[in-house]
């Protein structure tokens, strides 16, 4: 555990020095500010438009910064052979992966917090009434980043280039949002006499399911969100991310440098 902390610090410092970090953060804040212009097109629902654009920007840019960090850091170190220097020290492979992963999550959390503060400032200026579900939506965006970062690291260890790693991770992000439609697909296929329910269920449970973490789409929903549901959603995210990270450790432990 003690060896993981310096890796986390090193990952944080490396990311903060990276231009992409600042570029993405700046873009997110610019898009949030531009939501003020869009909101003028809908004077009666101004705060709603600002809130939705802001949350969307936070999610997109948190996702992008996580996958660029995951794909760039680990793969970059493998490509320029600096990984050998780290592994020459008494750092175990699982400590390295978990340290890198935790560092990426730390930088994503910083990103999300800065963007959320910017959005809150805009909303309060416009007279928005605070809703607790806003904080839950931000928290669940972070949970999505927890899962996708773990997957991004796994994909970056399996793939041969940063571009393919980023593309595959993006594909998983898209697919993770449409797994809910697999049930409808199963229903349509059954009506046509095609029985692949078990296969579709396997895909449904193996792929990440982001729809249940997509709380920003349910902010206006009057139905209550129980504590038990939130706990299971958090548990699902953490367990899924652990699986992906341990798989990364498995892949990484079999690599030779």
Q: Would you count residue 3 as binding other proteins (CB under 8 A)?
A: no
Cβ partners under 8 Å of residue 242, min gap 6: 150
Which one of the spans 25-33, 35-43, 82-90, 158-166 is the region binding other proteins (CB under 8 A)? 35-43
Compare residues 22 and 232 and give the one whose CB is closer to other proteins. Answer: 232
Q: Would you count residue 226 as binding other proteins (CB under 8 A)?
A: yes
Compare residues 6 and 220 and give the one whose CB is closer to other proteins. Answer: 220
Distance CA 15, CA 34 (A): 26
Q: Would you count residue 189 as binding other proteins (CB under 8 A)?
A: no
Q: Would you count residue 76 as binding other proteins (CB under 8 A)?
A: no
Q: Please, what is the Cα angle at 208 between 206 and 210, to 5 degrees?
A: 150
Distance CA 99, CA 97 (A): 5
Q: Would you count residue 236 as binding other proteins (CB under 8 A)?
A: yes
Q: Would you count residue 218 as binding other proteins (CB under 8 A)?
A: yes
Phi/psi at 210 (nearest 5 deg)?
-85, -15
Q: Would you count residue 184 as binding other proteins (CB under 8 A)?
A: yes
* Burial class of residue 220 in the structure, from the number of CB atoms within 10 Å of its CB (0-12 exposed, 13-18 middle, 19+ buried): exposed
Residue whose C-alpha is closest to residue 34's, from 49, 15, 22: 49
Q: Would you count residue 88 as binding other proteins (CB under 8 A)?
A: no
Phi/psi at 45 (nearest 5 deg)?
-125, 45
Q: Would you count residue 181 as binding other proteins (CB under 8 A)?
A: yes
Which one of the spans 5-13, 21-29, 104-112, 205-213 is the region binding other proteins (CB under 8 A)? 205-213
Task: Tell me how far, at minimum, the Cβ of 220 lies from other proteins, in Å.
Answer: 4
And the tokens for 30?
């610019």
Q: Are 143 and 45 in contact (CB under 8 A)?
A: no
Which residues, 107 to 146, sit near other proteins by CB under 8 A?
none
Q: Would you count residue 33 as binding other proteins (CB under 8 A)?
A: no
Out of 112, 119, 154, 249, which residue is the one contacting other proteins (CB under 8 A)? 249
Which contacts (CB < 8 Å, 24+ apart) does range 5-9 have? Answer: 5/99, 6/99, 7/91, 7/95, 7/96, 7/99, 7/100, 7/102, 7/103, 8/99, 8/102, 8/103, 8/106, 9/103
Compare residues 19 and 127 and give the one whose CB is closer to other proteins. Answer: 127
List residues binding other proteins (CB under 8 A): 38, 41-46, 48-49, 52-53, 55-56, 59, 94, 173-174, 177-178, 181, 184, 205, 209-212, 214, 216-223, 225-226, 228-229, 232-233, 235-236, 239-240, 242-243, 246-247, 249-250, 253-254
């Amino acid at each position: 555990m003690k060896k993981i902390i310096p890796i986390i610090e090193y990952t944080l410092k490396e990311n903060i020095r990276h231009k992409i970090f600042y570029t993405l953060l700046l873009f997110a804040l610019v898009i949030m500010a531009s939501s003020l212009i869009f909101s003028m097109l809908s004077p009666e629902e101004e705060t709603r438009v600002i809130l939705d654009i802001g949350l969307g920007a936070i999610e997109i840019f948190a996702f992008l910064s996580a996958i660029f960090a995951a794909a760039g850091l680990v793969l970059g170190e493998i490509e320029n052979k600096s990984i050998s220097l780290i592994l020459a020290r008494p750092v175990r492979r699982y400590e390295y992966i978990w340290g890198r992963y935790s560092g990426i999550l730390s930088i994503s959390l910083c990103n999300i917090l800065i963007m959320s503060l910017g959005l809150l400032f805009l909303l309060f200026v416009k007279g928005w009434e605070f809703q607790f579900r806003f904080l839950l939506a931000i928290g669940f965006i972070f949970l999505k980043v927890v899962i996708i970062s773990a997957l991004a690291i796994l994909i970056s260890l399996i793939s041969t280039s940063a571009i393919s790693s980023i593309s595959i991770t993006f594909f998983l992000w898209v697919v993770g949002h449409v797994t809910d439609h697999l049930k409808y697909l199963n229903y349509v296929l059954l009506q046509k006499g095609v029985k692949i329910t078990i296969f579709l269920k396997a895909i449904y449970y193996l792929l990440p399911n982001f729809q249940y973490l997509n709380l920003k789409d349910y902010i206006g929903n009057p139905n209550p969100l129980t504590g038990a549901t939130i706990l299971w959603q958090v548990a699902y995210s953490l367990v899924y991310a652990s699986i992906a990270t341990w798989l990364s450790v498995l892949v990484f432990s079999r690599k030779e440098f």
